[in-house]
Structure 1
Amino acid sequence: MTEPLRIIYVIHNAYGVGGTVRTIINQANAMAARGHDVDVVSMWRARDSTFFPLHERVRLVPLVDARSPARKTPPGTDREDASWHSLFPAKLSATEDNRLKVNALIGHLRGIKEGVLVCTRPTISLIVERFSDPRTIRVAQEHAHLGIHKPEWRAALEEAYKSFDALVTLTEQDKRSYAEAFPGIPRIERIPNPLTSLDVPVSDLTGKIVMSAGRLVRTKAFHDLIRAFGAVVERHPDWTLRIYGEGPEEPRLRRLIMRSHLYNHVFLMGVHDRLSEQFAKGSLLAMSSRSEGFGMVLLEAMNSGLPVVSYDCPVGPREIITPERDGLLVPMGDTDSLAAAIRRLIENEELRRTLGAAARKTAANYDPDVITRTWERLFAELVAGRN
């Protein structure tokens, strides 16, 4: 156990329901439980309480309150300041809400004189690099792979990350990519997302249900999964697909389900705060995402003993799944192969059980205690390096 540290996580919206939100809150909770002094600074607040529970010792600091039509911000941070607009890519100042959030964060950073500042998205890293006190330790977490950044953002991030104490990626592949693309970064580490707990309900693999989960956005390509499942139910009409999550694509996906006459087979389940309990009702998980920073849903399903089928998208799934051992990978965008892999696991119970058992062993490598200690060691080393 290291000496207690002051850790400030800066997140866009701690009140959201996405994988990054869950991951950051889990990290904050784990650090607080180990005796560290932890803040979660949320640039945006759109609901009364966070969807994921916070440890009693974690301080939640919302900056812009979207529940109010006036978008109220803390005293001293609500005055319009345009001086920073030219410092960042134009998107950061393109809307009133964006300007409110950036101004609020700049104001809050002025009050932080020490500690470890953890930036959880590239826009936050750019702001922290310009406006945080140089006495703070600055750590950037990349939750998306390098290839997703457009040239304007990539150039800005390369310059900003040179002044950070460390950049942390989720995968070895991204660690290599960032090291090659941004050679001036002082330290790059790979720390994967941990599971919340290894102690979860485990499926008996008898339920005739295929599971999936994630934000209902274009990059998750749930429309591909729905089309693939249409081919599955032609042979297996007694199986259903349950998709957990919410997002802007929901109306489009519902229209696709209706148009494809899959309303008795495909169900959009909304969000669920105990996803592991739901996974335990299924017999496999299918993921059609075309872009992943890591693939936390895969890992959570594997922890529940589900074999998994996934698109082999550029980063993430291929570091979690060992094909034919604990899951199946299919070419990205190939809905025929996705359907065939799902049918294969439906039709071969022995394979389903073999892959499911191996999946649980793979998930054990992401023990939250081990990964929390890795973060703790990194932070302690960075602080010691300044002394």
Structure 2
Amino acid sequence: MTAARDLFLVANSTDELGGVTAWTHQMARLFTSAGHRVHVIGVHESDLKMPVPQAPGYPVTSLYERHPPTPDPPRGARRLSVPARRRESRRIAAKKRAVAALESILGPARPGSVVVVTQVWPMEWLREMDTSHLTVIGMSHESFAYSRACHRYRWIKRHYPHVDRWLALTQEDADIWTAEGLNNVDFMPNALAHLPAVPSPRTEKTVCSIGRLADQKGVDMLLDTWAKVAPFRADWQLHMYGAGADETQLRRQCTELGLDTSVRWLGRTDDVPGALANSSVFVQSSRGEGFPLALMEAMASAVPCAAFDCAPGVREIVRDGEDGLLAPLGDLDALADRLLRLTGNPRLRDTMGERARANVQRFSEERILELWEELFALLER
């Protein structure tokens, strides 16, 4: 029997469409079911929302109603225009109010309470308050390579040396961050959210993609890849589930490639298991990932996957050649080859699909919850 704790999950947003939001509410539900007192906190409410539980069984708080403004460039107050100085003054005042709201939640927390910062950005607010009575765990839900290529690398180097433990998603990335000079790094895989009672029969001639229509997800590369596949698979369709800012230009690209008859744009879905049950192959074309939940859900449905090997989390989940097929990142010909192999060989689909369903259960919610409890106990010593 584990000790009940106050657990605070602090994210960029509590309702933004994407995998981190899904993970946050999945873990809040798991921790609550284990007897912990959970509070989910987001920096801001999101414009592009995903469905979240209407009555989740734990409090959910946003510090801002919308994305807070970014600071003006640090050029010195005397060089800023009067409107810019006023904007900056309003931003600072709003941030003080947000820090006070966060402190009103975390300040009264019981001894042994844990704050899990699911993305590094909220540390900008957390570090402005006293957290000496709390255990703080930082996380990154993307690969080292993807963080290294953007501003989040600097944020991690600035903020995460100060937390009690910070978690990458794989041992491979944890080792890289340790080599970068951080001595408090560990890793924690994501948990498989759902194991359907009945796997996909893999009888529909459908390839499924699930993800935001944004640059990171590489949907533009997927369309270029499908243009190489479609002439050889005239009776197959690519079903695109997702929404995002790039939808208009992606649909235009689809038309320009002559794919309108073989690509269906199905929007966001609240029924991922249902989408996968009607699919025979899953494809992931991301430029960068962490430990992708959609990939695990496809495998749990016994749908074999073709994916770019874009992150350690992808090759941790998919055992290439055993339960799925990986292609080098950005190699459209290689990804097309993997899709042609899976769509053209029912026996290969069935064999890899059944292996995928069996293998992915090593990331069961029960097992991942055990790992979290072990970590909490370790940090309390």
Class of the TM-score when normalised by the shorter of the 2 chains: 0.7 to 0.9
Provide the rounded CA distance (Å) in 1 between the counterparts of 2:129 and 2:341.
Answer: 54
Could you tell me whether the CA contact under 8 Å between 1:43 and 1:104 is conserved in 2?
no
Matches within 5 A, 1:54-65: 56-65=56-65
Residue 342 of structure 1 is matched in structure 2 by 339
Give 4+ residue runs of structure 1 displaced > 3 Å after superposition.
46-50, 94-105, 149-156
Residue 26 of structure 1 aligns with an amino acid whose one-letter code is Q
Could you tell me whether the CA contact under 8 Å between 1:169 and 1:189 is conserved in 2?
yes
Instruction: Name the SS of the counterpart of 2:156 in structure 1.
Output: helix
Residue 254 of structure 2 is matched in structure 1 by 257
Q: CA separation of 1:116/1:203 partners in 2, compared to 1, >3 Å: closer, same or farther?
A: same
Identical counterparts, % of pairs: 27
Residue 89 of structure 1 is matched in structure 2 by none
Q: Does 1:139 align with 2:137?
A: yes
Could you tell me whether the CA contact under 8 Å between 1:292 and 1:313 is conserved in 2?
yes
Provide the rounded CA distance (Å) in 2 between the counterparts of 1:161 and 1:201.
Answer: 42
Could you report, residue by residue, the CA deviation over 1:168-200 in whole angstroms, capped at 9, with x for unpaired residues?
Answer: 111111111111113332xx2221111112235
Residue 20 of structure 2 is matched in structure 1 by 20
Residue 180 of structure 1 is matched in structure 2 by 179
Residue 235 of structure 2 aligns with an amino acid whose one-letter code is D
Residue 41 of structure 2 is matched in structure 1 by 41
Instruction: Name the SS of the counterpart of 1:248 in structure 2.
Output: coil
Provide the rounded CA distance (Å) in 1 between the counterparts of 2:150 and 2:221.
Answer: 28
Matches within 5 A, 1:94-133: 102-111=95-104, 112-113=106-107, 114=109, 115-133=113-131
Range 263-272 or range 197-206, more displaced: 197-206
Q: CA separation of 1:102/1:355 partners in 2, compared to 1, >3 Å: closer, same or farther?
A: farther
Provide the rounded CA distance (Å) in 1 between the counterparts of 2:123 and 2:117.
Answer: 5
Residue 322 of structure 1 is matched in structure 2 by 319
Provide the rounded CA distance (Å) in 2 between the counterparts of 1:97 and 1:320.
Answer: 45
Instruction: Name the SS of the counterpart of 2:261 in structure 1.
Output: coil
Could you report, residue by residue, the CA deviation over 1:116-166 in whole angstroms, capped at 9, with x for unpaired residues?
Answer: 111111111343234242111100011112232358653443242222111
Instruction: Name the SS of the counterpart of 2:121 in structure 1.
Output: helix
1:98 Cα offset (Å): 7.7
Range 109-118 or range 123-132, more displaced: 123-132
Could you tell me whether the CA contact under 8 Å between 1:120 and 1:140 is conserved in 2?
yes
Normalised by the length of structure 1, the TM-score is 0.86
Matched length: 363
Q: CA separation of 1:97/1:212 partners in 2, compared to 1, >3 Å: closer, same or farther?
A: farther
Matches within 5 A, 1:91-240: 102-111=95-104, 112-113=106-107, 114=109, 115-147=113-145, 148-149=147-148, 153-185=152-184, 188-240=185-237
Could you report, residue by residue, the CA deviation over 1:62-96 in whole angstroms, capped at 9, with x for unpaired residues?
Answer: 22224xxxx9x9xxxxxx998xx89xxxxxxx999
1:56 Cα offset (Å): 4.0
Provide the rounded CA distance (Å) in 1 between the counterparts of 2:16 and 2:63.
Answer: 15
Instruction: Name the SS of the counterpart of 1:325 in structure 2.
Output: coil
Residue 123 of structure 1 aligns with an amino acid whose one-letter code is W
Normalised by the length of structure 2, the TM-score is 0.87
Match among 361, 364, 368 for residue 361 of structure 2: 364
Residue 356 of structure 1 aligns with an amino acid whose one-letter code is G
Q: CA separation of 1:180/1:250 partners in 2, compared to 1, >3 Å: closer, same or farther?
A: same
**Aligned-pair Cα RMSD in Å:** 2.8
Range 217-226 or range 199-208, more displaced: 199-208
Residue 241 of structure 1 is matched in structure 2 by 238
Could you tell me whether the CA contact under 8 Å between 2:116 and 2:138 is conserved in 1?
yes
Q: Does 1:379 align with 2:372?
A: no
Q: Give the gaps of 5 or more residues in structure 2.
A: 76-86
Instruction: Name the SS of the counterpart of 1:117 in structure 2.
Output: strand
Q: CA separation of 1:357/1:21 partners in 2, compared to 1, >3 Å: closer, same or farther?
A: same
